[in-house]
C-alpha cells in the first residue's frame, strides 16, 4: 500500500473504534455517546472523499492487509480493494452513516430514549461492518462482514427490546437473511474448493480462474459453465436474503420496528445495499453465466412489481417506504441481470441518497406526530414543517422517477438497458414489462404518501400541533434533499445518447476512463463477457426516447392518479374499491403465512422426525453402550471382594492361563 | 552333583507350597510364613542358576533377597499388629472394607 | 492351644488346587527343558569368600570377576533400617490413653475365629497388655501367660516410658 491508500484502513477502523468507545464508556459521555460515532463517521467520510479523489487521480489499490491462515491450496486473507466502485460506495455509505448519526441526535436524544450508548454502539458496528464489506477484496471477507451486517441489523431492529414486536422482527430479519446466507456460505465454500482462490480482482481471482476453466474443465461432474451458474446462484441466495428480493423479502417490512434512523441506514446504505453491492462486486463472475443473469433479472423485475403493489395499500408511512425499498432493489437486480452494471450501481447510489432522505423525513414526521405512523392521522404538515416537506418531496419525486430528480435518470437507464436486451430475450422482456408496470405503482404510492402526510387538513390533534424538530434533523434532510435533486447529474446517459454531450460521468468512472481502475473490473470488461445482444426500436436514439417516455409517462400517470384521488382537505380511502385485490395486497400476498406454513407444516414435522430418530436410534445406541457397560461393571465389580485370598487366586489363575498359552505356543511342554 | 532340574523342581515345589498356604489359610501370620516360603523358593532358583552359569551374582542376589525378606517380615508384622488393633482379629477375611 | 493343626478339608481348600495346578505346569516345563551348558564353579573356589569380596568391592582379592555390590549392600542396609523404623511406627500406640483393646473388640468371643491358628494372636495381644492398664478387665489368663513370649515387649516398654 502506498500513498494515500495507507490511510484506507482507517476508514473502516474509525467506526470500530467509535463502537468500542461507546460500548465501554458510552454511559459517561455526553449525548448518550453520540459524539464518537459522529466524529468517526465524519472522519470516514473525509477519508472516503480522499480515496475517491485518489481514484479520480488514477490510482487504485488491491492489497493484502492480514493473512488469516494459509495452506498450500488456498490462502484466506483480509485485504483492501479500492477501485471506482468501492470508492463511490465508501463515500455514499459513510455519508449516509454520518447523516444518520447526526439525525439521531434529534430522533433519539431529543426524545429522551434510554439505552443510547447501546444504540450508538450498534450504529458504529453497523457502519464498520458495511465499510469493511465494501472494501473487501475477497469473497470470504465479504461473507464475514455480510454476516456482521446481519448481526448489527438484528441488534438495532430489536433496539426497543421491551416491546413485543421489535424482538420478534429482529429475529425474523436475522433468520430470514440467515436462510439466504446459508446458500451464500455453501457458494463461498464451493468457489473456494473449485478455484482455490476467493479474490475478487487480479490474476489470481476466482473470476479469472472461472473464465479460463470454461470449455476446458469440469468441477464435481459439472461443466465449468454449469458450475459457474450453480455457485453464482448459491451466492445469490445471500443476496436475495439481504437485498430482500422475492421470496425472502418478508423480513424487511417487519424491520420497521427499529428506530427510524436505523431503518434509513439499513435501507439506504448498509444491509439491504450489501446484497446488490455484492452482485456488482463479483459481476464479472455472474457475467459468465447467462442463466444466473436471467434469474437475477427476472427476480428483480418480479420483485419490483410485487412490492410496489403492496406499497399502494399500506397506511403506515414506514411500511410504504419499506415496500418501496424492496421494489427499488428489484430494479437494481434487474439492471444487474441485464448486464446494466452502470445502471444498477447508479440506481444503488441514487437510491441510497433518496431513500435515506425519505426515511429521515419520515422520521422527522414521526417525531412531529409524537410517534404516530398512520398516514390517515396526519395531513396538513406542509405548512408546519416546510424543510421536511420540501426535502421529503424531493426524495419522493426521485423515488417516483419524475424528471429531473435523480431517480428518474437511474431508473430510466435501468429500464432502457432492460429494454434493449429484452427485445431479443423474451424472459428479460417479461421482467422489463413488470418493472415498467411497477413504475406506475411507484408513482402512485409515493404521491399518495406525500398527499396523505403533508397535504389536506390535519386529521388528528398531533397533526394540528406538531412537535418541533431540531436542527440536527433538518441539516441531513437539507443535504440529502439537494443531493436527491442533483444526483442524476452523475450519469446523464440519455443526454449523451441524444445530444452527444459527454455527460455519462458515472459510466466513465466505473469504466476507469480517466480514473484509476483494476484490470477486469471495468464496465467494458463486463460488457464483453455478458452474452446479451442489443436490439433497438428506431435506432438507439429512438429507443432512448421511447424508454424514457414510457417510464416518465407511467410515473406521471401513477402520480397524477394518486394526486387526484387523494386531493382535497379530507381525502377518502379508495383502496377499498379494489375489493379482494386489496385484501390480498394488505396481507402481503400471504407470503408470511405460507412461510410460516412451510416452517410449521414441513420443517417442524421433519425436525420432529429427525429428533425422534436422534432420540431413539442414535441415542439408543449410545445409551445402549452405556447400559451394557454399567450392567457389566455392576457384575464385574463383585470380583472385588476385599478378600486377599480371592485376589491371589485370580492372579494365579491369570498366570496359569498365560503360562499355558505361552508354553503351548513356545513349545515348552516337550 | 545334583542335576539342576532337581533344584528347580525343589524351588517350584516350595513356591507352590507357599502359594497353597496363601490360598487356603486365613491367619495373617500364616500368610507371612507362606510368603516367606515363596521368597525362599525364588532364592533357591537364584542360587541354583548361579551354579549353573558359574557366576556368583545369583548367590549375592540371594543374600540380598534374604535381607529384603527380613525387612518385609518386619513391615508385615507391623501391619498385622495394626490389623489386630483395628479389627480385633488377624483373620484376613474379616477386613473387607477396601472393596466395592 | 496354639499348636499347628491340619485344616479340615472343606471348600476352602478349593483355591489350593490352583497351586497344585501351577506346580504341575512348572514341573512339566522343567522336565521338558534341556539344561545343557552347565558351567559350575571350580572345585578349589571358596564361594563364601568370593561373595564377601564382591559385597565389599575387594576386586584385587577376587578370583572370579563378579561385579561389585557395595552400593547395593549399603542400600539394603538402609532399607532394613527403614523397615525396622516402619515396623516400630506401625506397632506404636498413638497415645498413652489408647486402649490395648482393639477398636472392634467387643468381647473374647470375637477373638476366636474358625481358624484355630488365630489363637496365635495372643502373643501380640499379650505384648500390648503390660504397657497399659489392666482396668479394662482384660480376660487375663491367656494374655499373661503369653506375654513373656511377645517379641515386641521392648517396644511397648519404650513407649510406656
**What are the backbone dihedrals phi and psi of residue A82, each rounded to the nearest 5 degrees, phi first?**
-115, 105
Residue A553 lies in a domain: yes
- ipTM score above 0.85: yes
Kindly determine whether residue A648 and residue B98, on different chains, have CB atoms separated by under 8 Å.
Answer: no
d(CA A435, CA A381): 32
How far is residue A656's CA from residue C25's CA, in Å, rounded to a whole number? Answer: 8
Domain count across chain A: 3
Asked if residue A648 and residue A606 are part of one domain, the reply reads no
Asked whether A236 and A295 are in contact (CB, 8 A), the reply is yes
Residue C66 lies in a domain: yes
Q: Where are the alpha helices (DSSP H) in A1-115?
A: 8-25, 34-56, 84-104
Q: Do A645 and C15 count as a contact with CB atoms less than 8 A apart? A: yes
Residue B35: per-residue pLDDT? 93
Q: Which has the closest alpha carbon to C139: C149, C127, C126, C152? A: C126
Mean pLDDT is lowest, of A16-25, A30-39, C73-82, for: A30-39
Residue C145 within a domain = yes
Average pLDDT over residues A291-310: 89
pLDDT at B2: 58
C90, C95, C153: best to mutate for the B interface, most B CBs within 10 A: C90
pLDDT score of C148: 42
For cell 433496539, what's the residue? A159
A321 and A401 belong to one structural domain: yes
3-state secondary structure labels for all residues of A108-137: HHCCCCCCHHHHHHHHHHHHHHHHHHHHEC
In b/e form, how buried is each residue of A497-536, taking b as 16+ CB within 10 angstroms?
Answer: beeeeebbbbbbbbbbeebbbbebbbbebbbebbebeeee
Given an 8 Å threshold on Cβ–Cβ distance, is C33 in contact with A653?
Answer: no
C109, with CB counted inside 10 A (0-12, 13-18, 19+), is: exposed
In DSSP terms, which residues pair with A80 in a beta bridge?
A63, A136
Q: In whole angstroms, give the CA distance from residue A205 to residue A301.
A: 30
Q: Which among A365, A146, A130, A369 has a CA at the least distance from the CA of A265?
A: A130
Q: Does C97 touch chain B (CB under 8 A)?
A: no
Q: Does the predicted model carry a pTM greater than 0.90?
A: no
pLDDT of residue A652: 92
Separation between Cα atoms, residue B65 and residue C76, nearest integer Å: 9
Q: Which ranges in A455-522 belong to alpha helices (H)?
A: 461-464, 471-486, 493-499, 505-511
Number of domains in chain C: 2
Chain-chain contact of B64 with C76 (C-beta, under 8 angstroms): yes
Is the model's pLDDT at A425 over the cut of 80? yes
Considering the domain architecture, whether residues A583 and A663 belong to the same structural domain is answered as: no
Look at residue C102 in the predicted model and tell me its pLDDT.
54
- C38 and B4 within 8 Å at the Cβ level: the answer is yes
Both A409 and A318 in a single domain? Answer: yes
For domain B4-87, say whether CATH 1.10.287.3510 is its number: yes
Output A276 or C140, whichever has higher pLDDT: A276
- Note down the domain range covering C128: 120-155
A587 lies in the same domain as A453: no
User: Any chain B CB within 8 A of the CB of C64?
Assistant: yes
Entry field: residues in chain A? 670
pLDDT of C34:
82
> Measured between CA atoms, how close is B99 to chain A, in angstroms?
5
A638/B100 Cβ within 8 A: yes
- Domains of chain B by residue range: 4-87
Distance CA C100, CA C133 (A): 8
Q: Which residue of A has its CA nearest to B20?
A: A649
What lies within 8 Å, CB to CB, of A122 at 6+ separation is A152, A155, A156, A159, A262
What average pLDDT score do residues A392-410 get?
Answer: 87
Helix C16-32 × helix B4-24 angle, to 10°:
170
Is pLDDT of A307 > 50?
A: yes
- Does residue C12 lie in a domain region? no
Task: Tell me, rounded to whole angstroms, the distance of Cα B65 from its chain centroid.
Answer: 10
- CA A585, CA A303: separation in Å to the nearest integer? 14
Among the listed ranges A394-403, A531-540, A562-571, C117-126, which one has the minimum average pLDDT value? Answer: C117-126
Check residue A508 and give its pLDDT.
82
Is residue A31 classed exposed, middle or buried when 0-12, 13-18 and 19+ CB atoms within 10 A define those classes?
Answer: middle
pLDDT by residue (tens digit) across C145-161? Answer: 444 444 443 334 333 33
pLDDT digits (tens, 9 = 90+) for C112-133: 444 444 444 444 443 444 433 3
User: How many alpha carbons fall within 13 Å on the CB side of residue A141?
Assistant: 27
Average the pLDDT over A80-94 and give the result.
89
Task: Count other Cβ atoms within 10 Å, centred on residue A32.
Answer: 23
What CA–CA distance (Å, rounded) separates C142 from A114? 92
User: What average pLDDT does the segment A436-446 reach?
Assistant: 89
Rounded CA gap, C84 and C87, in Å?
Answer: 5
Lowest mean pLDDT among A212-216, A254-258, A403-407: A212-216
* Nearest CA distance, B100 vs chain C (angstrom): 21
Which band of pLDDT confidence, cut at 50, 70 and 90, is reported for residue A613? very high
Residue A402: strand, helix, or coil: coil
Q: Residue A620's domain spans which residues?
A: 576-635
Q: Are C73 and C55 contacting, i.e. CB atoms less than 8 angstroms apart?
A: yes
Helical H segments across A243-385, by residue range: 251-254, 260-264, 271-281, 283-287, 290-311, 317-337, 341-368, 381-384
What is the 8-class DSSP label of residue C59?
Answer: G
Buried b (16+ CB within 10 A) or exposed e, B48-84: bbbbbeebbbbbbbbbbbebebebbbbbbbbbbbebb
Phi first, then psi, for residue A201 (nearest 5°) are: -130, 165
CA distance, residue B88 to nearest chain A CA (Å)? 17
pLDDT tens digits, residue range A33-84?
Answer: 788 888 899 999 999 998 888 888 888 888 888 888 888 888 888 888 888 8
Rg (CA), chain B: 17
Q: Is A638 on the interface with B (CB under 8 A)?
A: yes
pLDDT score recorded for residue C98: 58
Q: What is the DSSP string of A231-271?
A: HHHHHHHHHHHHTT-TTS-THHHHGGGS-HHHHHIIIIISH
Is 60 exceeded by the pLDDT of residue C79?
A: yes
Chain-chain contact of B100 with A643 (C-beta, under 8 angstroms) = no
Whole-number Å distance between alpha carbons of B78 and B100: 26
Question: Average per-residue pLDDT in chain A?
Answer: 85
Beta pairing class for A218-219 and A222-223: antiparallel
Round to whole Å and give the CA distance between A62 and A82: 6
**To 10 degrees, what angle do helices A116-135 and A139-157 make?**
160
CB contact under 8 A, A645 and B22: yes
Whether residue C1 is contained in a domain is answered as no
- Out of C39, C72, C91, a domain closes at C91
If we measure between CA atoms, which residue out of B19, B17, A659 comes closest to residue C25? A659
Mean pLDDT of A215-234: 83
Look at residue B25 and give its three-state secondary structure: coil
Element (H, E) at A528: helix A523-529
Contact yes or no for A643 and B96 at CB 8 A? yes
Rounded Cα distance between A384 and A497, Å, is 43
Q: The C-alpha cell of A69 is what?
A: 491462515
What's the confidence (pLDDT) of residue B39?
Answer: 95
Which grid coordinates belong to A479? 443535504
Model confidence at B37: pLDDT above 80: yes
pLDDT (0 to 100) of residue C131: 38
A660 chain-C contacts, CB cut-off 8 A: 25
Q: Report the share of chain A in percent with pLDDT over 70.
A: 98
For chain B, the farthest-separated pair of C-alpha atoms sits apart, in whole angstroms, at 54
Name the minimum distance, in Å, from the CA of B96 to any CA of chain C.
Answer: 14
Three-state SS string across A192-216, please? HHHHCCCECCCCCEHHHHHHHHCCC
Residue C96 confidence (pLDDT):
62
Asked which of A8-12, A63-67, A495-499 is least confident by mean pLDDT, the reply is A495-499
Interface with B, mutate which of A637, A643, A663 (most B CBs under 10 A)? A643
- The percent of residues in chain A predicted with pLDDT above 90, rounded, is 11
- Partner residue opposite B89 with nearest CB, options C19, C88, C113: C113
Chain A partners of B93 at a C-beta cutoff of 8 Å? Answer: 643, 645
CB contact under 8 A, C22 and A669: no
What region, left, alpha or beta, does residue A196 occupy, with left being phi > 0 and alpha being psi -120 to 50 degrees? left
Other Cβ atoms less than 10 A from the Cβ of B37: the count is 18
Q: What is the pLDDT of residues A482-494, one digit of tens each?
A: 888 888 888 887 7
Q: How far, CA to CA in Å, does A669 sit from each of B14, B48, C17, C24?
A: 21, 22, 20, 11
pLDDT of residue B15: 94
More confident residue, A515 or A166: A166
Q: Which three cell numbers stand for residue A356?
A: 435515506
A271 part of a folded domain: no
Do residues A411 and A439 make contact, with C-beta atoms less than 8 angstroms apart?
yes
pLDDT at A575: 67
3-state secondary structure of B78: helix
**Residue A153 and residue A271 in contact, taking contact as beta carbons nearer than 8 Å:** yes
B66, three cell numbers:
534374604
pLDDT, tens digit, 9 for 90 and up, residues C12-54? 788 888 999 999 999 998 888 888 888 888 888 888 898 999 8
| A76–chain B nearest CA distance, Å | 56
CA quadruple A597, A599, A600, A605: dihedral positive or negative?
positive
Distance (Å, whole) CA B24 – CA B31:
9
What is the rounded average pLDDT of the residues A517-522? 79
The confidence score (pLDDT) of residue C108 equals 46
Residue A29 lies in a domain: no
Q: B56, B53, B57: which is closest to C35 by C-alpha?
A: B53
The pLDDT of residue C121 is: 41
Query: Per-residue pLDDT averaged across B57-66, rounded?
Result: 91
Q: Please check whether residue A546 is in contact with residue A389, taking contact to mean a CB–CB distance below 8 angstroms.
A: no
Residues linked to residue A223 through DSSP beta bridges, in sequence order: A218
C18, C19, C28 ranked by CB distance to A669: nearest: C28
Confidence of residue A2 (pLDDT cuts 50, 70, 90): low
* Closest-CA residue of chain C to B27: C118
Residue A395 lies in a domain: yes
Amino acid at each position: 500500500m502506498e500513498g494515500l491508500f495507507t490511510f484506507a484502513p482507517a476508514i473502516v477502523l474509525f467506526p470500530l473504534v467509535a463502537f468500542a468507545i461507546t460500548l465501554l464508556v458510552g454511559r459517561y459521555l455526553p449525548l448518550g455517546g453520540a459524539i464518537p460515532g459522529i466524529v468517526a463517521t465524519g472522519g470516514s467520510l473525509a477519508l472516503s472523499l480522499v480515496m475517491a479523489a485518489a481514484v479520480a487521480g488514477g490510482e487504485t489499490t488491491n492489497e493484502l492487509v492480514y493473512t488469516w491462515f494459509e495452506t498450500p491450496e488456498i490462502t484466506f486473507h483480509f485485504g483492501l480493494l479500492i477501485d471506482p466502485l468501492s470508492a463511490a460506495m465508501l463515500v455514499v455509505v459513510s455519508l449516509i452513516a454520518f447523516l444518520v448519526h447526526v439525525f439521531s441526535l434529534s430522533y433519539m436524544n431529543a426524545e429522551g430514549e434510554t439505552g443510547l450508548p447501546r444504540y450508538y454502539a450498534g450504529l458504529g458496528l453497523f457502519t464498520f461492518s458495511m465499510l469493511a464489506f465494501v472494501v473487501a477484496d475477497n469473497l470470504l471477507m465479504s461473507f464475514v462482514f455480510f454476516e456482521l451486517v446481519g448481526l448489527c441489523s438484528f441488534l438495532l431492529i430489536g433496539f426497543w427490546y421491551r416491546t413485543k414486536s421489535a424482538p420478534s422482527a429482529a429475529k425474523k430479519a436475522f433468520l430470514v437473511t440467515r436462510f439466504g446466507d446459508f446458500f451464500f456460505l455453501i457458494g463461498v465454500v464451493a468457489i473456494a474448493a473449485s478455484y482455490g482462490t476467493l479474490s475478487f480482482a487480479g490474476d489470481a481471482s476466482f473470476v479469472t480462474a472461472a473464465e479460463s476453466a470454461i470449455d476446458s474443465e469440469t468441477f464435481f461432474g459439472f461443466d465449468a459453465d454449469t458450475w459457474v451458474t450453480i455457485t453464482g446462484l448459491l451466492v445469490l441466495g445471500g443476496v436475495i436474503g439481504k437485498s430482500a428480493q422475492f421470496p425472502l423479502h418478508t423480513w424487511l417490512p417487519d424491520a420497521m420496528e427499529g428506530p427510524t434512523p436505523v431503518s434509513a441506514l439499513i435501507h439506504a446504505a448498509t444491509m439491504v445495499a450489501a446484497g446488490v453491492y455484492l452482485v456488482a462486486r463479483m459481476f464479472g463472475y455472474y457475467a459468465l453465466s447467462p442463466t444466473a443473469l436471467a434469474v437475477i433479472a427476472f427476480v428483480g423485475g418480479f420483485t419490483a412489481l410485487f412490492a410496489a403493489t403492496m406499497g399502494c395499500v399500506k397506511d403506515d408511512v414506514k411500511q410504504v417506504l419499506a415496500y418501496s425499498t424492496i421494489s427499488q432493489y428489484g430494479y437494481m437486480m434487474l439492471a444487474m441481470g441485464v448486464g446494466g452494471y452502470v445502471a444498477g450501481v447508479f440506481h444503488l447510489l441514487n437510491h441510497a441518497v433518496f431513500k435515506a432522505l425519505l426515511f429521515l423525513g419520515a422520521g422527522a414526521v414521526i417525531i412531529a406526530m409524537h410517534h404516530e405512523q398512520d398516514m390517515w392521522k396526519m395531513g396538513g404538515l406542509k405548512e408546519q414543517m416546510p424543510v421536511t416537506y420540501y426535502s421529503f418531496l424531493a426524495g419522493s419525486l426521485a423515488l417516483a422517477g419524475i424528471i429531473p430528480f435523480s431517480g428518474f435518470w437511474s431508473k430510466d437507464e435501468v429500464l432502457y438497458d432492460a429494454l434493449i436486451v429484452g427485445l431479443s430475450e423474451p424472459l428479460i422482456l417479461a421482467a422489463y414489462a413488470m418493472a415498467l408496470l411497477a413504475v406506475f405503482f411507484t408513482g402512485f404510492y409515493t404521491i399518495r404518501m406525500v398527499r396523505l402526510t403533508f397535504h389536506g387538513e390535519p386529521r388528528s390533534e398531533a397533526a394540528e400541533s406538531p412537535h418541533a424538530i431540531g436542527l440536527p434533523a433538518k441539516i441531513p434532510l437539507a443535504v440529502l434533499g439537494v443531493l436527491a435533486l442533483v444526483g442524476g447529474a452523475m450519469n446523464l446517459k440519455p443526454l449523451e445518447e441524444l445530444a452527444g454531450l459527454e455527460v455519462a460521468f458515472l459510466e466513465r468512472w466505473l469504466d476507469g476512463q480517466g480514473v484509476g481502475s483494476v484490470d477486469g473490473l471495468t464496465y467494458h470488461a463486463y460488457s464483453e463477457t455478458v452474452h446479451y445482444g442489443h436490439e433497438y426500436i428506431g435506432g438507439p436514439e429512438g429507443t432512448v426516447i421511447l424508454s424514457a417516455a414510457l417510464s416518465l409517462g407511467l410515473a406521471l400517470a401513477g402520480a397524477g392518479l394518486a394526486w387526484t384521488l387523494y386531493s382535497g382537505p379530507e381525502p377518502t380511502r379508495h383502496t377499498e374499491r379494489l375489493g379482494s385485490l386489496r385484501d390480498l395486497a394488505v396481507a402481503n400476498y400471504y407470503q408470511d403465512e405460507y412461510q410460516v406454513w412451510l416452517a410449521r407444516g414441513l420443517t417442524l414435522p421433519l425436525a420432529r422426525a429427525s429428533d425422534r430418530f436422534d432420540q431413539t436410534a442414535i441415542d439408543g445406541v449410545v445409551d445402549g453402550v452405556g447400559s451394557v457397560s454399567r450392567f457389566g461393571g455392576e457384575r464385574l465389580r463383585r470380583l472385588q471382594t476385599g478378600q486377599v485370598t480371592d485376589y491371589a487366586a485370580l492372579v494365579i489363575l491369570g498366570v496359569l492361563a498365560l503360562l499355558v498359552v505361552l508354553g503351548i505356543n513356545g513349545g515348552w511342554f516337550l | 552333583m545334583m542335576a539342576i532340574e532337581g533344584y528347580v523342581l525343589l524351588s517350584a515345589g516350595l513356591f507352590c507350597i507357599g502359594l497353597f498356604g496363601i490360598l487356603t489359610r486365613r491367619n495373617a501370620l500364616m500368610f507371612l510364613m507362606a510368603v516367606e516360603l515363596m521368597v525362599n523358593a525364588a532364592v533357591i532358583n537364584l542360587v541354583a542358576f548361579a551354579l549353573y552359569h558359574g557366576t556368583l551374582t545369583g548367590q549375592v542376589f540371594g543374600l540380598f533377597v534374604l535381607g529384603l525378606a527380613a525387612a518385609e517380615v518386619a513391615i508385615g508384622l507391623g501391619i498385622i499388629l495394626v490389623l489386630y488393633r483395628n479389627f480385633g482379629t488377624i483373620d484376613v477375611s474379616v477386613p473387607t472394607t477396601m472393596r466395592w | 492351644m496354639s499348636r499347628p493343626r491340619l485344616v479340615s478339608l472343606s471348600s476352602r481348600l478349593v483355591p489350593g488346587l490352583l497351586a497344585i495346578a501351577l506346580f504341575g505346569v512348572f514341573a512339566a516345563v522343567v522336565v521338558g527343558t534341556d539344561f545343557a551348558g552347565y558351567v559350575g564353579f571350580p572345585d578349589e573356589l571358596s564361594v563364601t569368600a568370593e561373595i564377601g569380596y564382591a559385597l565389599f568391592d575387594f576386586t584385587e582379592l577376587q578370583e572370579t570377576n563378579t561385579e561389585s555390590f557395595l552400593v547395593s549392600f549399603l542400600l539394603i542396609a538402609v532399607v532394613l533400617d527403614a523397615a525396622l523404623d516402619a515396623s516400630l511406627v506401625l506397632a506404636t500406640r498413638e497415645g498413652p490413653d489408647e486402649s490395648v483393646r482393639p477398636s472392634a473388640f467387643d468381647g473374647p468371643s470375637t477373638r476366636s475365629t474358625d481358624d484355630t491358628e488365630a489363637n496365635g494372636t495372643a502373643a501380640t495381644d499379650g505384648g500390648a497388655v503390660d504397657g497399659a492398664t489392666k482396668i479394662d478387665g482384660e480376660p487375663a489368663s491367656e494374655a499373661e501367660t503369653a506375654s513373656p513370649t511377645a517379641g515386641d515387649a521392648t517396644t511397648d516398654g519404650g513407649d510406656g516410658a
